[in-house]
């Protein structure tokens, strides 16, 4: 079994408590938690609301830990509890288990369906699960050969390698008996079960090998409403000016590559990289992507900037670039000299060449991570 890096399940909040009796800080029945007064359960008569008496020291009660977390009590070097604790996040639900390959070649792929950007909080990127409710399945995950799809004259005629419905309550999914393409890449696609409805065709690539399952990975979804809002924010002239796009096209109609420059930390969160110059094509490094084809997500995560020249062409704080009309090519990035104090420059990050691109009636997402931070 191979557990992909994107499937890290723990997200430690690392919030060590060392609270005293501060009953005046919050109303009765609440305690200060992450700088906010929150409701708690129970009260020690000798201490404030939500606290307990630890040999004369008032400490927060573990009920302040939120949902889908567990209390981890801190011990000193001798193994004696200090009375402090932190809240550690847990995965919300288990992904369905994959069976071993039946023939040493076929693979199983499983994981979670997540929004590329949360519709209610767009700066929450690659984190929010797509869930609905009982008996409300609306989306499916399809696994494709990405090269076959992107190079087809009519991608809609390309048959997926496998398809499954996404659990509407947990957002989990599993696709079995996948034949690994000769390219050793697969695209995991989230889309609506009924074409033309809420979720548009959105793919994310993964490396694959014969007989080795890909488990606890992420697939990312984009709604039709998001596609329309992003297209309107970029504007018809901006999209029509991109390679192979026409007036009236949305990003989906034209086919768009969305690059997210960053890397996954051990706790599963993503560090996004500012000041990255996107490049594609041949050469070492390849040329910068023309400004007419690049739109950078701004700090609101709802609007875009298009640089006036290559000098100013680099990612903002969320590391996200949209490239409508993206052709099949090798994509990479370099640190911009214009952002001298960036994490990229401070660490001399280099980005490997990765095959990417898009196709008509599709959006493809790619996490572009520095070498050594896979």
Can you give the residue ranges of every domain in the chain?
11-89, 93-224, 235-368
d(CA 192, CA 201): 8
Residue 56's contacts (CB-CB under 8 Å, 6 or more residues apart) are none
Q: In a structure prediction context, what are the per-residue pLDDT tens digits for the chain, which is 374 residues long?
A: 444 443 332 233 233 333 343 434 666 656 665 566 665 444 445 565 556 666 656 666 666 665 445 666 777 777 776 666 666 554 456 799 999 999 999 999 999 999 999 998 899 899 888 988 766 778 999 999 998 998 888 888 999 999 999 998 889 999 999 999 999 999 999 999 987 679 999 999 999 999 999 999 999 999 999 999 999 999 999 999 988 899 999 999 999 999 999 998 877 788 999 999 999 998 888 999 988 889 999 999 999 999 888 888 999 999 999 999 998 889 999 999 999 999 999 999 999 999 888 899 999 999 999 998 87
CA distances from 113 to 32, 139, 294 (A): 34, 9, 27
Domain 235-368 fold: Immunoglobulin-like (2.60.40)
Q: Does the domain at residues 93-224 carry the CATH identifier 3.30.70?
A: no
d(CA 93, CA 171): 9
Q: 109-143 burial, b for 16+ CB within 10 Å, e for fewer?
A: bbbbbbbbbbeeebeebbbbbbbeeeeeeebbbbb
Q: Strands across the sheet with 329-335, in order?
A: 276-280, 329-335, 354-356
CA distances from 299 to 5, 315, 317 (A): 27, 10, 7
User: Which residue in 334, 356, 331 sits closest to 281, CA to CA?
Assistant: 331
Q: Are 163 and 141 in contact (CB under 8 A)?
A: yes
């Amino acid at each position: 079994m191979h557990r992909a890096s994107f499937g890290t399940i723990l997200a430690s909040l690392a919030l060590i408590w060392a609270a005293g009796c501060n009953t005046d800080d919050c109303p009765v029945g609440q305690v200060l938690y992450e700088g906010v007064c929150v409701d708690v359960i129970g009260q020690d008569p000798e201490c404030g609301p939500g606290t307990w008496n630890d040999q004369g020291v008032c400490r927060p009660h573990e009920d302040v830990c939120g949902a889908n977390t567990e209390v981890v009590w801190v011990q000193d070097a001798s193994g004696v509890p200090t009375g402090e604790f932190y809240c550690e996040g847990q995965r919300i639900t288990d992904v369905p288990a994959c069976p071993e390959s039946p023939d040493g070649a076929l693979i199983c792929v499983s994981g979670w369906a997540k929004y590329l950007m949360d519709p209610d909080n767009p700066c929450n990127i690659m984190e929010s699960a797509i869930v609905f409710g009982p008996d409300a399945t609306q989306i499916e995950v399809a696994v494709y050969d990405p090269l076959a799809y992107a190079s087809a004259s009519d991608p809609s005629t390309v048959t997926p390698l496998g398809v499954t419905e996404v659990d509407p309550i947990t957002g989990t999914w599993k696709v079995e008996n996948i034949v690994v393409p000769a390219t050793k890449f697969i695209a995991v696609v989230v889309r609506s079960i009924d074409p033309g409805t809420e979720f548009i065709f959105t793919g994310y690539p993964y490396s694959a090998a014969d007989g080795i399952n890909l488990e606890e990975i992420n697939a990312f979804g984009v709604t039709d409403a998001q596609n329309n809002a992003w297209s309107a924010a970029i504007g018809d002239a901006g999209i029509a000016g991109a390679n192979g796009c026409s007036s009236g096209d949305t990003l989906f109609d034209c086919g768009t590559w969305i690059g997210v420059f960053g890397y996954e930390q051990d706790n599963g969160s993503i560090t996004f990289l500012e000041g990255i110059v996107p490049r594609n094509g041949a050469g070492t490094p390849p040329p910068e992507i023309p400004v007419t084809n690049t739109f950078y997500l701004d700090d609101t995560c709802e609007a875009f900037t298009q640089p006036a020249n290559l000098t100013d062409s680099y990612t903002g704080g969320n590391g996200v670039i949209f490239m409508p009309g993206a052709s099949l090519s090798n994509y990479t990035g370099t640190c911009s000299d214009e952002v001298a104090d960036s994490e990229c420059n401070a660490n001399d990050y280099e980005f490997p060449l990765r095959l990417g691109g898009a196709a008509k009636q599709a959006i493809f997402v790619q996490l572009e991570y520095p070498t050594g931070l896979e």
